[in-house]
Amino acid sequence: MQKNAVLTASQEDYLEAIYQISADKMAARAKDIANFLDVKASSVTGALRTLSSFGLVNYAPYDLITLTKEGKAVAEEIVRRHLALQEFLVSVLGVDAKEADEAACKMEHSVPKNIVDRFIQYADYVKRCPKGGITWDSGFGYYCKHGCTQEEGCSHCKDGCTNKD
């Protein structure tokens, strides 16, 4: 990829789409990408030309589209960010899976790698911590439904999870 080239969210979506389609079909066609992203074929052509000029895709009109080695690495990082954010939203915050997928798709383009790594670490911590897991989920779920004021604190936690050893 060109040194000063920065991918837009849309270009990242194209790489992710090619990656996902190629996982099923070994390669993608412009029509597959247009259907996957729900965009017009002319938009796909323009994006593919740009991604090709960056050295991220192998593209020729009317031919199969594949990711270059560098393109595959970039796409895998985009997918990793998406899945990590989606997992965090579902398993830690209790967000509905469909809503989490849509939010992760928006967030994956702007959250830096080191912060995504922290999301992953935190989700892992909550799963592994003896005071986390089900107890933590229960307390957070209670808080999301009932809330509490700063003065009263969270009675659910005072009575529940903080007293457990």
- Identify the CATH number of the domain in which residue 22 sits: 1.10.10.10
Residue 31 counted as domain residue: yes
Q: How far, in Å, are 32, 50, 65, 76, 145 from residue 87 at the CA level?
A: 27, 31, 30, 16, 21
Domain coverage including residue 57: 9-74
- Of the residues 74, 89, 114, which one is the last residue of a structural domain? 74
Joined together, the tokens standing for residue 140 give: 């957070």
- Residue 71 in this model has a pLDDT that exceeds 70: yes
Give percent of the chain above pLDDT 90.
Answer: 62
Q: Is residue 79 part of a domain?
A: no
Q: What's the number of domains the chain is made of?
A: 2
Report in angstroms the alpha-carbon separations of 126 from 36, 93, 136.
34, 11, 8
Q: Which of 57, 53, 54 is nearest to 65 (CA)?
A: 57
Query: How much is the pLDDT for 164?
Result: 47
- Structural domain includes residue 93: no
Q: What is the largest CA-CA distance in the chain?
A: 66
User: Which of 4-8, 66-70, 116-120, 144-148 is predicted most confidently?
Assistant: 66-70
Tokens for 61, please give them: 């009109």
Residue after which a domain boundary falls, among 26, 58, 74: 74
Domain boundary residue among 54, 74, 94? 74
Predicted confidence band at 165 (pLDDT cuts at 50, 70, 90)? very low
